């Protein structure tokens, strides 16, 4: 007797669904969104820079003929603006079935050179921004989960959340105290969401990327002189790719991820288990010498006019 395919293999197609993405114009989140759009979803991407967000949305829409990708300029720290964006998304695209909370801020700075405002800014964008995003979209996600019972009966899903985190807080990382604190909070928020909204059919998980090549995040954290040396410490011997993160996203949002809830999916080639890549240092800068000398790499993109003083 043949066994129905649905009993041993799930569907990975995402048809007629809508994904709401904060930080959607960034390298990683735009790749996640593109994968979802290719598989059949429409999308609403949120970013602070209106021109960049609109340009990225137009480009993502080319992934599938007839795809709709809405761009909205919004700061995740602005609660009302974010609520308005979610409402507009539902009005124009019909629903919010999936959420990617990916807005983030980062830069290299030792604690002695990190201002309270700098620390607060990262906490506000990453941690508070994730909280605000969940609050703004959860009513629509609950509705989607109700329309798409878990386990799925038709291969389609809804009511799913992914928060984008990092691995710095697992072991600690010099010059990343602000980010480690913020991402620890993001992980905790996601866990609470899984517990509080799981009974409504919501799943909430975290993707924690490692070093992903070709991203602005790598430019801000890793010295351009140290990339080759860095891969020697990664068990798989390479940096991650945007596709690696997109594939993890498809897994968690698709029928294949039905029973995955309240978890952190690390996509870093086991780098964090080998104490993680060095942030803000060149190949010849050894721990703790570079810290004691008050140095860090001149080959990282700071996004600031001046490097923080040690």
Q: Is 191 a catalytic residue?
A: no
CB 26 within 8 A of CB 49: no
Decide if 183 is catalytic: yes
SS3 state of residue 2: coil
Q: Provide the phi-psi class of 290: left if phi over 0, else alpha when psi is between -120 and 50, else beta.
A: alpha
Element (H, E) at 46: strand 42-47
From the candidates 27, 95, 183, 204, give the one annotated as an active-site residue. Answer: 183
The whole-angstrom separation of Cα 41 and Cα 53 is: 18
Q: Taking the CA atoms of the chain, what radius of gyration do you get in angstroms?
A: 20
For tokens 């240092």, name the residue: 281
Catalytic residue among 165, 191, 204, 297: 165
Residue 192 near residue 171, CB atoms below 8 Å: no
How far from 42 is each of 14, 239, 282, CA to CA, in Å?
Answer: 9, 29, 42
Q: What residues act catalytically? A: 165, 183
């Amino acid at each position: 007797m043949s066994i129905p395919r649905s009993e041993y293999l799930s569907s990975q197609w995402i048809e007629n669904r809508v994904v709401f993405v904060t930080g959607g114009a960034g390298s990683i989140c735009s790749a996640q969104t593109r994968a979802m759009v290719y598989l059949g979803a429409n999308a609403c991407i949120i970013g602070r820079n209106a021109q960049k967000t609109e340009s990225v949305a137009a480009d993502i829409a080319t992934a599938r003929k007839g795809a709709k990708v809405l761009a909205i300029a919004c700061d995740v720290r602005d609660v009302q603006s974010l609520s308005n964006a979610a409402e507009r998304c539902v009005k124009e695209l019909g629903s919010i079935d999936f959420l990617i909370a990916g807005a983030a801020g980062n830069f290299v700075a030792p604690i002695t050179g990190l201002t309270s405002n700098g620390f607060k800014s990262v906490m506000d964008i990453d941690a508070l921004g994730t909280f605000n995003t969940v609050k703004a979209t959860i009513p629509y996600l609950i509705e989607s989960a109700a329309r798409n019972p878990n386990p799925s009966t038709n291969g389609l899903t809804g009511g799913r959340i992914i928060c984008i985190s990092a691995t710095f807080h697992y072991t600690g990382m010099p010059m990343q105290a602000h980010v480690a604190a913020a991402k620890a909070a993001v992980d905790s928020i996601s866990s609470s969401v899984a517990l509080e909204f799981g009974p409504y059919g919501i799943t909430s998980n975290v993707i924690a990327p490692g070093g992903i090549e070709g991203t602005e995040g790598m430019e801000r954290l890793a010295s351009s002189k140290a990339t080759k040396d860095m891969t020697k410490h990664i068990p798989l011997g390479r940096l991650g790719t945007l596709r690696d993160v997109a594939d993890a996203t498809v897994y968690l949002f698709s029928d294949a991820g039905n029973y995955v809830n309240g978890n952190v999916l690390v996509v870093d080639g086991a780098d964090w288990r080998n104490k993680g890549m060095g942030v803000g240092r060149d190949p010849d800068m050894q721990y703790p010498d570079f810290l004691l000398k008050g140095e860090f790499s001149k080959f990282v993109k700071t996004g600031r006019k001046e490097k923080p003083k040690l």
